[in-house]
Amino acid sequence: MRIDMKKRKFIRLLISYLILGFMMVIIIYPLLWTVGASFNPGNSLVSTSIIPKNPTLDHYKELFEGKESLQYVQWFINSMKISFFTMIGSVITVSFSAYAFSRFRFKGRKNGLTLFLLLQMVPQFSALVALFVLAQMLGMMNSHWLLIFLYIGGLIPMNTYLMKGYLDSIPVDLDESARIDGASHTKIFFRILVPLSKPMIAVVAMNGFTGPLGDFVLSSAILRTPESYTLPIGLYNLVNQVMGASYTTFAAGAILISIPVAIVFLMLQKNFVSGLTSGGTKG
């Protein structure tokens, strides 16, 4: 019996490691190919390889040469601006709304939470025409601030539901004790709940920062001039040209996008994992 148990345990571990190894290959292989392509000479992917025979930094230099058709530095600044303010705005709005749903009882509370979940089922592109018309009516085409507000609004429903679940796991007794000592709702929120909610705040911040960097559909509908482009739009144009498409330069630009994401992730890493797993424990 002991031998059979050991064999079963070994087989389970072996299968688990094989699955993990397979998933790692799926995740890492495209990244290694992109890194290799960014150092390969030429513009075509046909002659590229994961390990370049004649590695070059020409594609990275090309990104910062300031050509009129390749305003990478401006696109990078635009993306960082939109991502940063989206992150700040989403953290503030989600924190307040989650606190209200978690600690207060008011008419329409349950319906509001249900509505938040239903809103996640509506694809983003389904409202694209309405958002485009809204931007024209407000005279805010090519406006980064309109895009920031739209991103923040799109992040509120699901993140609020997650953070509300996390706040529910914090004992209400802490609020009541602080209220007996004369603390207001504002003090309770900022001095008790916010420090205890750092893991989930880190999750919301990460979602707010990475969301705009991966969006192409909404940003391409609002931003129409090269000076206002974000990185997804600008880099897409590099490979969308019938003549002169530069896949290797696209790869170099894509690698540089990952640097700020990696920095933000490392800054929030300690809180990120626990916040992501704890947010859905209570609803």
pTM: 0.82
More confident call, 205 vs 61: 205
CATH code, residues 71-241: 1.10.3720.10
Which residue matches tokens 């990104």? 63
| 37-54 pLDDT tens trace | 788 777 766 666 677 777
- pLDDT, tens digit (0-9, with 9 covering 90-100), for 229-277: 999 888 888 777 655 567 778 888 888 888 888 888 888 877 765 544 4
Region(s) of the chain under CATH 1.10.3720.10 = 71-241
Predicted local distance difference test score (pLDDT) of residue 47: 63
Q: What's residue 66's pLDDT?
A: 61
Per-residue pLDDT at 280: 43
Q: Tell me what pLDDT residue 242 has.
A: 54
For residue 2, name the pLDDT band (cuts at 50, 70, 90): low
* pLDDT > 50? residue 283: no
d(CA 99, CA 104): 8
